[in-house]
Amino acid sequence: MAKRVVVIGGGSAGTGAATLAIQTDRSLDVTLLTEFEDIAYSPCGIPYVFGREVASMNNLFLQGKEFYADMGLKLRTEVVVERVDVNQRVVHTTTGEQFPFDILILCTGWEYEVPNVPGVDLEGVVFIKNIRRAMEIEKQLDNVKKAVVWQAKPLGVELIEALPKRGIETHLVDAGGWLLSDFADPDMMKPLQDYLVDHEHVKMHFGATLNGFRGQNGKLTHTLTSTGEIETDMAFLVAPMKPATKLAQSIGVKTGSTGAIVVDNHMRTNVPNVFAAGACVETMHGLLNIPINLIQGTYAYSEGRTAGTNAAGGDVSYQPVYVPWGLGAKVQVGGALISETLAKATGTPYVAATGLGITAARYHPSHEKMMVKLLCDPQTHRILGAQFTGGEGVKERADFLAFAIRKATTVEELATMENVYSPAIGALNEPIATCAKNLLNALKQQRK
């Protein structure tokens, strides 16, 4: 009899795990169970449909269900798992169905932690996650004049960039002091913040806590914050995202200090024949050497692929992460963690410097400013983190720096890096190298 693999969860991790399991060993009997109607779509693209940069939610689907069926995958949508019997190796659903397995892969993802404030159940208070719900919200947006986005996390920033494009007066409410203040630095976020205020007319309410919502006839009319009330037709709650681990814990799977599942570098849990991947697991940070919980699809997908390959008998090792990140359109921001804010929070010794450069030759019309900040270890001069603010090329620089950090690159090496010089796409002086030279000077100053 073919070995049976059951994957619970149909997000990036679940889809990646199921497809890689079947591609690694075609003889496997692979079943994917998801409580939602769809799989294999990009929820990260939802704000861009709201902003009409992407024409339709349908464009966010990567593959149709037939694609997976043709591959030999048994796909079961709208199935809620009630419990797992690890001794008998059977998954039980709420409808009484049973799915026997030899190997189980948990990709249960994350859930919003709904804020405990009055009025959160009013019509017009919404969360972004499921694409079908997002389609309904999309239809309602034409009647929305004023919107509030709660929390300046990456999804929140994407929303405040998108909603003004629909002519919606957009307010951002955040207890922090600047955009992405959990991990990014204020000096590096300021250009994006200024752009959103000056050009998109976003109203920023920083240092403001969410106190609740008020409505009329069950419909939202006002958002209540510690700094005042805001007239609101729709409120988008970018609430804290928590790993969904209740099912895992019920079968004895260990969770770590972030609340997510503990896995080794092969995505194996402590329970034999049970793997886990995606937003429900902990991933090791390469520099801090502590586990972190990452929600982004890029990690979910690659971890899912690792789990699927190993579950099918392969041998793939997942690497510690250095978290390249980036967002924005007209003004782009990004980096590789850690930031100066995180260095201060963790107590990591560092020296930092900034450098200003341009993305193309100064006489070429496409050139834009590029601000770089680098952090290094004062003893070894190893790069610890980077941030970028500017025009085109932030993403590529963030990816490059994350890899450079992984390879233990020093400031001296970056200061003498080679770079492309081609008037339309690259300036004579690469901004990263300029910043690295400034960092060398800062290190010299520190020694004096």
Partner 1 sequence: MPITTKHPAPPTFMQKFRMITEAYLTQVAQREMLQKYPGSGRLPAPQKGFIYTVLPFIFLPGYKLTPWPIKKRLLALFFVHPEQNWPARPWEKTKGE
**Residue 345 contacts partner 1 per CB under 8 A:** yes
**Contacting partner 1 within 354-413 (CB under 8 A):** 380, 382, 406-408
**Contacting partner 1 within 280-319 (CB under 8 A):** 282, 284, 286, 288-291, 317-319
Q: How far is the CB of 389 from partner 1 (least distance, A)?
A: 12
**Residue 264 contacts partner 1 per CB under 8 A:** yes
**Residue 341 contacts partner 1 per CB under 8 A:** yes
One-letter amino acid for residue 384 of the chain = L
**Residue 145 contacts partner 1 per CB under 8 A:** no
Specify burial of residue 444 (Cβ count, 10 A radius: 0-12, 13-18, 19+): exposed
Write the DSSP assignment of 307-364 as a string of letters. HHHHHTT----PPPB--EEEEESSSEEEEES--HHHHHHHT---EEEEEEEESS-TTS
DSSP three-state, residue 235: strand
Residues contacting residue 198 through CB under 8 Å, at least 6 positions apart: none
State which of residues 243, 328, 357, 385 lies at the interface with partner 1 (CB under 8 A).
Answer: 243
Of the ranges 17-25, 96-104, 307-315, 338-346, which one interacts with partner 1 (CB under 8 A)? 338-346
Handedness of CA 226, 48, 298, 308 (dihedral sign): positive
Distance in angstroms (rounded) separating the CA atoms of residues 68 and 296: 23
Q: Which of 15, 74, 20, 73 is nearest to 306 (CA)?
A: 20
**Contacting partner 1 within 19-78 (CB under 8 A):** 35
Q: Which of 381, 383, 373 is nearest to 286 (CA)?
A: 383
Q: Taking CB under 8 A as the rule, which mask of x and - marks residues 207-236 in contact with partner 1?
A: xxx----------------x----------
**Contacting partner 1 within 69-128 (CB under 8 A):** 80-83, 94, 108-111, 113
Rg of the chain in Å (alpha carbons): 23
State which of residues 3, 165, 203, 242 lies at the interface with partner 1 (CB under 8 A).
Answer: 242
- 100 versus 378: smaller Cβ distance to partner 1: 378
The count of chain residues that interact with partner 1, using the rule CB under 8 A, is 75
Of the ranges 62-70, 159-167, 202-210, 435-443, which one interacts with partner 1 (CB under 8 A)? 202-210
- 126 versus 284: smaller Cβ distance to partner 1: 284
